[in-house]
Homo-oligomer: A and B are copies of this chain.
Amino acid sequence: MTVRQLALPELVSHCVRLGIGAVGLWREPVQEYGVAAAAELVRDAGLTVTTLCRGGFFTSDGWLAENRAAIDEAVTLGTDTLVLVSGGLTPDCPDLPSARARVTEAIGELAPYAGERGVRLAVEPLHPMYAADRCAVSTLDQALDIAERFPAEQVGVVVDTYHLWWDDRAPAAVERAGRTGRLHSFQLADWTTPLPAGVLTGRGQLGTGAIDLRAWCDLAGKAGWTAPVEVEIFNEDLWARDGVEVLEETLEAFLKI
């Protein structure tokens, strides 16, 4: 998503050229390209798919079929992790407690289906500024409270610095996620201000914002994270630029952390 201006074949070939051995994919571009074709493309290039983004939105109609489809796509792509963004308030779930209860219930219904197919569901807490319209799960502790009701090989959590950096309880929660085998994805983006309208596309390139990314990488490392780290930056300015240039710049910024 950081370089969504790149078509999948371009993304894959430049990842290979730059020695980036793993990539996180989003459902929309994968579907556009064709799921089986995308799977073949990354497999032939020798790339690992870290995660598929995203399932979830459990407070909206049609969530069950949609999420089963996302699990099936993860299987086809050969990734073991589906990221879940829970969904916000809806007429059905008009307040946070009911939305969070729905999320737990929905994951309970999905988890066995995912587990049978070797896919882990990774609950992603989003920044509290998204609590109303996008994700009622706002802290890593909340995500873990949900995940821990299910087997660790079925349900875990995502740690994304953009969403969690402000939370003084997050470091202990990262440790908890590691200790309980629930740390299923680790993502980086920086926090820059002012936020743009709608607050969706204001994430900062690594090293340009307020977050101590080195401290977060150390935290994840201490919690046992050794798998590839995803960089997930939604940023209109980056999207408007040459994607290859942004990919190279992002790699460079990552290596400087």
A181-237 at interface with B (beta carbon < 8 Å): 191, 193-199, 209-210, 212
Inter-chain contact B198/A198, CB cutoff 8 Å: no
Known: A96-B168, A142-B168. A195 touches B129 (CB 8 A): yes
Interface size on A, residues (CB 8 A): 28
Inter-chain contacts of A138 with B (CB < 8 A): 166-168
Distance to closest chain B CB from A99 (angstroms) = 10
A138 to B133, CA, bound (A): 20
Inter-chain contact A96/B166, CB cutoff 8 Å: yes
Inter-chain contacts of A142 with B (CB < 8 A): 168
A138 to B165, CA, bound (A): 11
User: Is A25 positioned at the interface, with any CB of B under 8 Å from its CB?
Assistant: no
Interface residues of chain A: helix, strand, loop or mixed (majority): loop
A101-142 at interface with B (beta carbon < 8 Å): 127-129, 131-133, 138-139, 142
Inter-chain contact A132/B197, CB cutoff 8 Å: no
Inter-chain contact B194/A195, CB cutoff 8 Å: no
User: Is A95 positioned at the interface, with any CB of B under 8 Å from its CB?
Assistant: yes
Known: A142-B168, A166-B138, A197-B194. A209 touches B132 (CB 8 A): yes
0/1 per residue, A219-257, Cβ < 8 Å to B?
000000000000000000000000000000000000000
User: Is A89 positioned at the interface, with any CB of B under 8 Å from its CB?
Assistant: yes
Distance to closest chain B CB from A97 (angstroms) = 8
Distance to closest chain B CB from A142 (angstroms) = 6
Known: A128-B128, A166-B131, A168-B96. A195 touches B193 (CB 8 A): no
Inter-chain contact A199/B210, CB cutoff 8 Å: no
- Of the candidates B89, B133, B168, the one whose C-beta lies within 8 Å of that of A194 is B133
**3 interchain residue pairs of minimum CB distance:** A132-B210, A131-B166, A128-B166
